[in-house]
Each structure stands twice: as C-alpha cells, then as structure tokens.
Amino acid sequence: MSRNWSRHLELQLVDNNDKGISLSGFKVTFKISWQSGANPKVAEIKIYNLSESTSKRITGPEFTRIRIFAGYGRSVYDESEVGTVKPVIVGARSNETNVGLLFGGDIRLTVTGRETSPDNWLVIQAIDGHEVISSAVLSATLAKGYTAEDMYDLIGNALKPYGVVSGNRPIFPITEFPRGYTFHGKVSAYLDRLASLCGAEWQILNDRLDLYTPDQISHEPINISSRSGVIGMPQQTSGNEFSLKCLINPDIQVYGLIKLENNWPYPVVPELGTTAASANAQRANGGIYKVYGIVYKGDSRGLEWYMDIMCRPLNSQHPSDENVNKWSTEKMK
C-alpha cells in the first residue's frame, strides 16, 4: 500500500552550533536541483507571511544553514500548529512514515518582498556544501610510494574542520606513485583528480563526502508505478535516457536504483544495443534504472508536490554533463 498521504513539510534554520528554529504550517514553495557529479545541490525556498521579528532573524547573521524535511505520512496539522516557529529538535520522527531530508545547505542569499495581495514573502537561496567546496584547501606532502587511498585520507583530514565525514568509498587502484608530491590548493581540485584516478564521481552532500564508481549505488531498487505516485508518461530525453515525474519520495536518491513494476502501462526505453527480444523481455518484466538527477518542486498549500527524475538503464554509459545540466536547468524554470 502506498504511504503517500498527508503531506509534511518542515524547515529548520540553524546556526553554526546546530541551534535554531523550526517552521511548520506556513505557506512555502521550494525548488531543489540535485545532479550526479560534483555539481552542488541548490535550493530556492519562498516562505509567506512570517512575522517581522522572525523575518529579521532569518535575514540577519544568526542562521547560516537551512534544512528541508518533506514527504508524506504525518498527521494533519491542528490549528494551533499552523504558522508556528519552534526550537529545532534533534532526533527521530516517530509519527512520520515517509519523511526525509530533501536538502541541507549553506544560506547564500535572502530577499524579502510583498505580493500584490497583503501577503509578504521571504526567499532563501542555499547551496549544499558551498562553504567547504569554495573554502577548503589542502597543503601537505606525500612521500613516494603513495596511493590513491592515501590521497583520499589526506583530503578527508582537510575536510574534518568543516564537519565533513567519509561516506561511500570507491575501490581504490593499487598503483604506487614513484615520486613524492606536494599538495597545495583547493580540495575540490584534488577531489577531481582523485575521482579521475578511481573512475568515480564525487559529491559533498549533507556534510558527507561520497565517491561513486559506475558499478556502485546509493540504495537498492525502489519499486515505482502509477499506484505508488508516478504521474503521466515517462519522457525520452536523449538516447536511452528518460525522465519521469512522481510524488515526492525522499527514499529515492541520486545514484540509487528504481524498478518499474511489471504492470507499468507505458513503454520502457530499452538500453542501447539491446536486441528486440531482450527489449521485449525488459518491457514484460519491468526494468531497473539508475537515477542521475532529481528536481523537487513543492507548494505546501498548492498542487505542486513532485519530483522529476532523470534515469538511465542500469550499467549503461553515463549521461553527458551537458545533457544533465540542460535537463536540470529546464526543470528549475
């Protein structure tokens, strides 16, 4: 049975010590773009009818980060909860069944304004990992005989002051470099080099460094169908890439897998090079696809509560950065 009932949205604005406020029950719209590769996750959030005091706190220097929790399964807000500002509470959410963290990032810009109606609004633009990606530097030397894993450990130490921990690790090549090397520069540049050595892509999300090779995944296949929230027909974008729209499901992640159920009513795009027989078999049995991009769009009091997903058949070649960037830009409009 689908868990997609009773929307839930919570915004947390916190300082460098993870202390802050939680907003619930307000009218909020948001767009979040998440791509594979080193491109950071970006969000634009618009909050309506905040009190003047709360608005001043958000536009001031007090809060440095914002988190967006969204999904389904929480009981409906009572009247007393609508438009409330509460302290942030860290811990499990026992009364929610399909709510997850969609975004957590550094606040880069805040703008206030007013609609033609009496409603006022505050817009927040935020980027996940912005501070660490733009500021972290590495200055150290590795002696001859160092390996790619030694580079990884060195980079990890440089990221610790920013609170970034190690996440998914690739299988490191065993090559030992015959000369020592002095590292001096931005960590992001050395992550590019390390990822190239490992045939991987890197991301810093939610204070975690992940490197994924083409054969690694962030989660096992999640079954999707019209019954579980898919809307309309998948759209072929380029080659054997396609995009589909479904209700917001925080369980689906970039580098994760989705499985089109057997009763999928629409044609599935076959992998390049497959024979007609194997393509027909894939259509009959459903197919497993890897996620390379997600754009979330939500309106807490409107119709939008969707995620657009970009996929390719499992084990097919990666989409070009140009295609992914173009797709993401179009979805953010």
Tens of pLDDT along the chain (333 residues)? Answer: 355 558 899 999 999 999 999 998 899 999 999 999 999 999 999 999 999 999 999 999 999 999 999 998 654 444 445 455 666 555 445 455 688 999 999 999 999 999 877 899 999 999 999 999 999 999 999 999 999 999 999 999 999 999 999 999 999 999 999 999 999 999 999 999 999 999 999 999 999 999 999 999 999 999 988 888 899 888 877 777 888 999 999 999 999 999 977 555 445 545 455 555 445 544 533 588 999 999 999 999 999 999 999 999 886 655 444 443 443 344 444
11 burial type by CB count under 10 A (0-12 exposed, 13-18 middle, 19+ buried): buried
The model's pTM: 0.84
The Cβ-side half-sphere exposure at 72, using a 13 Å CA radius, reads 13
* pLDDT for the residue 264: 53
Which residues are CB-contacts of 172 (< 8 A; sequence separation ≥ 6)?
A: 147, 148, 149, 152, 198
* pLDDT for the residue 233: 81
* pLDDT for the residue 198: 96
* pLDDT for the residue 79: 47
- From residue 174, alpha-carbon distances to 12, 145, 167, 177, 201 in Å are 43, 10, 20, 10, 18
| Helices and strands per DSSP (H, E), number in the chain | 6, 19
Secondary structure of 130-152 in HEC code, one letter for each residue = HHHHHHCEEEEEECCCCCHHHHH
Task: Specify whether the CB–CB gap between 291 and 219 falls below 8 A.
Answer: no
Task: Specify whether the CB–CB gap between 12 and 21 falls below 8 A.
Answer: yes
